[in-house]
Amino acid sequence: MGGGAREGEEVAKGMDRRRRREVLEEVVAGGCCEGSRVREGDLKPMDAEQLRENAHKMVDFIADYYKNIENFPVLSQVQPGYLRKLLPDSAPNRPESLQDVLDDVQAKIFPGVTHWQSPDYFAYYPSNSSIAGFLGEMLSAGINMVGFSWITSPAATELEMIVLDWLAKLLKLPDYFFSTGQGGGVIQGTASEAVLVVLLAARDKVLRRVGKDAIGKLVVYASDQTHSALQKACQIGGIHPENCRLLKTDSSTDYALSPELLNEAISHDVAVGLIPFFLCATVGTTSSTAVDPLLALGKITKSNGMWFHVDAAYAGSACICPEFRHYIDGIEEADSFNMNAHKWFLTNFDCSVLWVKDRNALIQSLLNKSRVSKKQTFVPRNTYHSASEANMVVDYKDWQIPLGRRFRSLKLWMVLRLYGLENLQCYLRNHIQLAKHFEELVSQDSRFKVVAPRKFSLVCFCVLPPCDKEDCANKLNRDLLDAVNSTGKLFISHTVLSGKYTLRFAVGAPLTEERHVNEAWKVLQDKASALLQSL
């Protein structure tokens, strides 16, 4: 507490409560903190030259991080609760220096970081940083506006519309996903939010028809390979968990959803009086990059009046290459389509791109109804109202869960411009090529097996137990995963396919080269040898 506040408390003693507060406030405000002056040498809240000086320091710190990134254990090796032991238990009263903070980042934070940008990171799916993406984040943080509606920064809304039209063009999406028609694109934070908002739009659309008390009859469909975000969206939206059909897949379809199974499930549900309303198909599942057959599935949804959402969070990026575009053939049947530019498209997290065919369906579910005006919270009229009446203005707050939103289109715009289509295609093809190389390495070692077809940059594989010990297969693979990850030399993750513990090797970090794949494979071989010998 400042000296002024203490002084005020003295002065205010003996007064009644309300008067005490007033005096306290008075003395404090006029006392220790005249104007916005801070002590000589203290960092000001904002100051162009102090910003310049300190941000240059931060640039060097971050560039050095990338220079040395291979020296860190990829997967953090700390124990839970490690950080509390290293940091004080209160915020400081007086300012500390940037150097103090950076020293702490180096000594205390970095050991607890799992380095997603390491070239030896092969876990989950990638989460690309890039020079362009990073610069876009900087610029967005510099401008730091909150673009909830058009007027709060027209450039933020309009650049988003334009850039998502650019990307839709690269993906050869149907016309109705472009902002020039009834639909359009919007940047969500994550694929979880994307599936949630379209589920809500679909829910409310059907409830307007059948009445809101029928919510218990609504049924959602997807394969059992679908990301858990769908179930979470159902839970949030009040869809009964027993009405969430996760249809079984197996290796006979490479873990893709079978249209026949979907048809059967829908017929059965309709027969018992339930209301099918939503299908989530996936192009590139989280487990094994399975691709659901969009065209066949889309026809079924259409004939049943259902909303058809396509989740291509990871694999969507690859579809800017003509040779991979066929994986989204049938997208013209979809009501919504999602890909995460923050996964494998060099755009820093978060940037999940959602296109919808009918933007009004979204808005009808997600409109922020203001007390002040039916259309807008606190919006000045000048240029705005005439435009709004002409329906030329998009307010993205009504397309998403949160009200506020960052200027995220800047980073995607910078990625597209600073790399250009050709280099982006090369970037994706290179990872796919490296994954193919890894797949070949696995195939050449008879102790290992590739367990699902590689389509993009993910290889699903396992180490095989000796013939007489097949029941230990899951344990063996789990032990192998733990063994390689605890070296810190690489980080891979796992999945379960047809009940089998399966290792995943996902290529996709911006710095990964062939030598990293080769070294990772060597660690895997060495650790497998040791484990197999100890059996």
The least CB distance from residue 1 to a second copy, in Å, is: 6
The least CB distance from residue 214 to a second copy, in Å, is: 11
From the list 7, 11, 158, 519, which residue makes contact with a second copy (rule: CB under 8 A)? 158
Window contacting a second copy (CB under 8 A); options: 262-270, 304-312, 430-438, 457-465: 430-438
Residues in 6-35 at the binding interface with a second copy, rule: CB under 8 A? 8-9, 21, 24-25, 28-30, 32-33, 35
User: By CB neighbour count within 10 A (0-12 exposed, 13-18 middle, 19+ buried), where does 385 fall?
Assistant: middle
In the 8-state DSSP scheme, what is residue 510?
Answer: T
If one asks whether residue 420 binds a second copy (CB under 8 A), the answer comes out as yes
Residues in 361-390 at the binding interface with a second copy, rule: CB under 8 A? 365-372, 377-383, 387, 390
Q: Which is nearer to a second copy, 224 or 263 (CB)?
A: 224
| Helix, strand or coil, per DSSP, at residue 467 | helix
The residues near 66 (Cβ < 8 Å, ≥ 6 apart) are 117, 511
If one asks whether residue 129 binds a second copy (CB under 8 A), the answer comes out as yes
If one asks whether residue 289 binds a second copy (CB under 8 A), the answer comes out as no
From the list 281, 346, 460, 520, which residue makes contact with a second copy (rule: CB under 8 A)? 346
Give the separation between CA 438 and CA 457, rounded to whole angstroms: 10
If one asks whether residue 169 binds a second copy (CB under 8 A), the answer comes out as yes
Give the separation between CA 293 and CA 283, rounded to whole angstroms: 8
From the list 11, 162, 450, 523, which residue makes contact with a second copy (rule: CB under 8 A)? 162
List helix spans (H) across 326-408.
341-344, 359-366, 382-389
- Give the amino acid at 384: Y
Window contacting a second copy (CB under 8 A); options: 113-121, 250-258, 303-311, 466-474: 113-121
Window contacting a second copy (CB under 8 A); options: 155-163, 289-297, 441-449, 466-474: 155-163
Q: Which is nearer to a second copy, 369 or 446 (CB)?
A: 369
Give the separation between CA 339 and CA 72, rounded to whole angstroms: 30
If one asks whether residue 175 binds a second copy (CB under 8 A), the answer comes out as no
Window contacting a second copy (CB under 8 A); options: 212-220, 251-259, 292-300, 519-527: 212-220
Residues in 293-322 at the binding interface with a second copy, rule: CB under 8 A? 321-322
From the list 15, 210, 250, 402, which residue makes contact with a second copy (rule: CB under 8 A)? 402
If one asks whether residue 200 binds a second copy (CB under 8 A), the answer comes out as yes
User: What are the structure tokens assigned to 218, written together?
Assistant: 């609504």
Query: For residues 269 and 219, is the Cβ–Cβ distance under 8 A?
Result: yes
> At 385, phi and psi to the nearest 5?
-65, -40
Q: Which is nearer to a second copy, 13 or 446 (CB)?
A: 13
The least CB distance from residue 532 to a second copy, in Å, is: 19
From the list 442, 460, 463, 481, which residue makes contact with a second copy (rule: CB under 8 A)? 481
> At 103, phi and psi to the nearest 5?
-60, -40
Query: For residues 434 and 512, is the Cβ–Cβ distance under 8 A?
Result: yes
The least CB distance from residue 184 to a second copy, in Å, is: 13
Give the separation between CA 237 and CA 216, rounded to whole angstroms: 11
Query: For residues 347 and 317, is the Cβ–Cβ distance under 8 A?
Result: no
If one asks whether residue 61 binds a second copy (CB under 8 A), the answer comes out as yes
- Give the amino acid at 483: A
The least CB distance from residue 329 to a second copy, in Å, is: 11
The least CB distance from residue 303 to a second copy, in Å, is: 26
Give the separation between CA 228 and CA 235, rounded to whole angstroms: 11
The least CB distance from residue 31 to a second copy, in Å, is: 9
Q: Taking the CB of residue 121, how many other CB atoms lie within 10 A of it?
A: 26
Q: In Å, how far are 52, 56, 136, 349 from 49, measured between CA atoms?
A: 5, 11, 21, 29
Binding mask 67-106 for a second copy (x = CB under 8 A): x-------xxxxxxxxxx--x-xxxxxxxxxx-xx---x-
CA dihedral over 401, 402, 403, 405, signed as positive or negative:
negative
Give the separation between CA 455 and CA 462, rounded to whole angstroms: 17
If one asks whether residue 181 binds a second copy (CB under 8 A), the answer comes out as no
| Residues near a second copy (CB under 8 A), total | 203
Q: Which is nearer to a second copy, 226 or 467 (CB)?
A: 226
Residues in 219-278 at the binding interface with a second copy, rule: CB under 8 A? 224-225, 228-229, 231-232, 235-238, 240
The 3-state secondary structure of 122-146 reads CCCCCCCCCHHHHHHHHHHHHHCCC
Closest CA to 338 of 192, 491, 533: 192
Give bridge partners of residue 500 from the DSSP assignment.
497
Question: DSSP strand E in 5-78: where?
Answer: none
Window contacting a second copy (CB under 8 A); options: 255-263, 412-420, 460-468, 469-477: 412-420
Residues in 486-525 at the binding interface with a second copy, rule: CB under 8 A? 486, 493-496, 504, 510-514
The least CB distance from residue 208 to a second copy, in Å, is: 12
The least CB distance from residue 468 to a second copy, in Å, is: 26
Torsion of CA 399, 317, 510, 82, to 10 degrees: 50
The least CB distance from residue 310 to a second copy, in Å, is: 18
